[in-house]
Amino acid sequence: MAAANSVFRALADPTRRALFERLTRDGELTVHALTARAGVSQPAVSKHLTVLKRARLVNQRRAGREIHYSAQPKSLAPLVDWMAFYGVFWREKFSKLEDVLERMEP
């Protein structure tokens, strides 16, 4: 559950979600490229990327003076597992509610 908590915390912030989504969509990007469309400063982008790295949602590699970041979508597995568990939970609850409502009908 610790991995799921880390992923949830990292993606709770809309700027971090946007950075992760952009990396997922556009592939590997530098901090400068990410900052250009992030709407926040380069130091803020770097801090957000650090949180994403700790949650293992992004990897980095250095090429000369630049750091390139890439999304690691497989790290969403704890979130997917959590959603699958609660998907089953709520389907069962709604099925039971449907049974109760059908018995209540005149």
Residue 44 phi/psi, 5-degree rounding, is -65, -40
Taking only the tens place, the pLDDT of each residue in 38-64 is: 889 999 999 999 999 999 999 999 999
99 pLDDT higher than 80: no
| pLDDT for residue 1 | 67
Give Cβ neighbours of residue 7 (< 8 Å, ≥ 6 apart). Answer: 55, 57, 75, 76, 78, 79
Percent of the chain with pLDDT over 90: 59
12 pLDDT higher than 80: yes
